[in-house]
Amino acid sequence: MTVPVCTNAPRLLVESFPTRYGIKIKAVQVAAPDRGGWGHDAIWSAVYASWDWQACPRLLVVYEATDGDRAWWVLMGGVRGEVGYDLDNPGRAVGFAFDVPGVILHELYHALGCKEHNMDRCHEHLARIKRGGR
């Protein structure tokens, strides 16, 4: 089964998620919105505001991490990625990730519908997607 995910970094998504559990990611190229400023709230607002969920039910924007981002993570424990869901429509998800090892894959799992702190059940969820469920 192939699941489309819109992204500004198709190569990174495909490399981060080779075919697993019988699911292949089809990375659809889209332009990245401007970060909208520095910090989590500015980035999240810019990504969410740019999301056209009808054209792109799942969106994961990847940003290059700057030295300022890395300092923020060390000093303040800043967020390296985040995905939000449309609770009324489980097939919709929007989010961002920095190009840090492991973060893109982690957020991609969330974009596919796996919930935080319950990644063990993710395999069951992915099997449901493969069977045609949400």
- Worst-scoring range by mean pLDDT, 59-68, 77-86, 107-116, 123-132? 123-132
Q: In the chain, how many domains are there?
A: 1
Overall residue count recorded for the chain in this entry: 134
pLDDT tens-digit profile of 21-53?
Answer: 777 888 888 888 888 777 777 888 888 888 888
Give the per-residue pLDDT at 130. Answer: 66
| Residue 7 scores a pLDDT above 70 | yes
Give the per-residue pLDDT at 45. Answer: 84
Whose CA is closest to 92, among 2, 32, 6, 1? 6
Domain extent, residue 68, equals: 2-130
Residue 9 — left, alpha, or beta (φ > 0 → left; ψ -120 to 50 → alpha)?
A: beta
pLDDT tens-digit profile of 70-96?
Answer: 887 787 766 778 787 766 666 788 888
Rg, the chain, Cα only: 14
Long-range CB pairs of 31-36, under 8 A, 24+ apart, other chains included: 32/8, 32/61, 32/62, 32/63, 33/61, 35/63
Give the per-residue pLDDT at 19. Answer: 74
| Residue 15 scores a pLDDT above 70 | yes
pLDDT tens-digit profile of 101-121?
Answer: 788 888 888 888 777 656 667
Distance CA 17, CA 11 (A): 10
